[in-house]
Chain A
Amino acid sequence: MKLVSSAEKAVIKKDFGEVWNTKMARTTLILVPAVLVVAIPALFLLMIYLVPTSQMNGVDKMMELLPPEIKYYTQRQAMYYFLTNYLCPMLFLMIPMMNSTVSAACSFVGEKERSTMETLLLTPLSVKQIFRAKVYGCLLISFLSSMISFVVFTIVVSAGDILLKMPFFFNWNWLVLVVLFAPALTIFGVIFMVLVSGRSKSYMESIQTSGYIVLPVVLLFIGQFTGLFQLDALLLFFISVGVLAADAVLLLIASHSFTPEKLLR
Chain B
Amino acid sequence: MAENDERARIEEARRIASDLLENGVVMGVLGLRRVESHVEPYLFTTKDELRDLNISGRYAIARVAENLLRRWDEGALGIIIRGCDERHLIELSKKKSVDLKRIITIGLACTDHEAKECHCLRPYPQKIDVGKSIGDVDYQDHETLARLMEMDISERRRFWSDIFNRCIKCYGCRNSCPLCNCEDCRLEESRWVRVGEIPPEFPSFHLIRAFHMADKCVGCGACERACPMGIPLGKLHQLIREDMKRLFKYETGLNPEDESPLQNDLEKNPLEVQLDEL
The reply to whether chain A is a binding partner of chain B is no
